[in-house]
Amino acid sequence: MTRNSDWQVTPPAPMNPAPEIQPQEFEEIRVLARRTSGLDLQPGKQELVSARLRRLVRGGGFRSFREYYHSVVADATGKALAAMIDALTTNHTSFLRESDHFEFLKSEVFRQWSGRRQIEIWSAGCATGAEVWTLAFLLNDALPTHMVRIAATDISTRALEFGQRALYPVSRCEGIPREWLARYFVAESPDAYRVAPRVRAQVTFERLNLVQPLAWRRSFPAIFCRNVMIYFDRPTQERVVQGLAACLEPGGYLFVGHAESLTRIAHSLEYVRPAVYRKPDPRGEKCSRP
């Protein structure tokens, strides 16, 4: 007969606390993030970096941030580096965010595209997809007979996976017009909506690093790259904007975040209105300005 005292539960071993990040370790991670992804982790962000990487350091059983850093550098697959960048990047977004841009599309730009058969927009830094689906809904509303395509890219694999699922809790959908919810979403559960299959089919998600050479084989009439360049230093911003401009067709528009400005960097684009720029059109066509 077994006595109760024979059944003894061994308490789990306490989880080792993550080590504190040291100044030299922060500098190594800072340089790696800047070199590989353009992230400009300013001095003073040491606590932020420590907090965001702590789970990876603890989960990998590393005894120091330097040990973790060396494992990332040694990983030939690049998966460890991608996980590090995922942890360091912020993927905040919302439907209809910075709505002035969407009003400008409706009032000025869509009529310029009415003669096209296909419209393809690039959302560079698409985060978890809210911007992408907002653009898709607007295009389907305004140009229902056109073929709509959106290229959605981000450096964060985690954000891309979320965007591809296109599943959003009800709380994230509170600002969406009722007609959009009825037309472009399917109720997945009482607590969540998923973007309808026909709209999801219009979007292609792909991981892309904006600081590396871009290899698009086509140009775009509009590129959204909003609230991305705030994470870059000025030389990187300039290089990224030049790359984006090269991907615009003549007369195409670049939309940046309202907290961003191109006034302090060299570029070839025309200012249209706050956070909206246009690639010069050699045919001499001019856009209207407020």
Q: What is the pLDDT of residues 199-243, one digit of tens each?
A: 999 999 999 999 988 889 899 999 999 999 888 889 999 999 999
Is-above-0.85 flag for pTM? no
Cα 155 to Cα 89: distance, rounded to the nearest angstrom: 9
Residue 1 has pLDDT above 80, yes or no: no
Q: Which backbone phi and psi does 192 adopt, to 5 degrees?
A: -155, 150
Distance between first and last Cα of the chain? 89
Whole-number pLDDT of residue 11: 47
Residue 46: which residues within 8 A CB-CB, separation 6 or more? 21, 23, 26
Return the closest-CA partner of residue 221 out of 244, 253, 194: 253
Buried b (16+ CB within 10 A) or exposed e, 201-223: ebbebeebebbeebeeeeebbbb
Percent of the chain with pLDDT over 90: 63
Q: Could you tell me whether strands 185-189 and 192-195 are parallel, antiparallel, or unpaired per DSSP bridges? A: antiparallel
Domain 23-88 shares a fold with domain 100-278? no
Whole-number pLDDT of residue 284: 62
Q: Of the CATH numbers 3.30.465.10, 1.10.155.10, 3.40.980.10, 3.40.50.180, which one belongs to the domain with range 23-88?
A: 1.10.155.10
Q: Structural domain boundaries of the chain?
A: 23-88, 100-278
Taking domain 100-278, whether its CATH number is 1.10.3720.10 is answered by no
Cα 46 to Cα 230: distance, rounded to the nearest angstrom: 18
Whole-number pLDDT of residue 16: 54
pLDDT tens column, 31-60 = 998 888 888 888 888 898 999 899 899 989
Whole-number pLDDT of residue 4: 44
Cα 175 to Cα 154: distance, rounded to the nearest angstrom: 24
Instruction: Kindly report the average pLDDT of the chain as a whole number.
Output: 88
Which of 1-10, 36-45, 273-282 has the lowest average pLDDT? 1-10
Cα 124 to Cα 155: distance, rounded to the nearest angstrom: 9
pLDDT tens column, 134-143 = 999 999 999 9
Find the mean pLDDT for residues 161-175. 92
Whole-number pLDDT of residue 20: 87
Whole-number pLDDT of residue 13: 43
Find the mean pLDDT for residues 15-26. 79
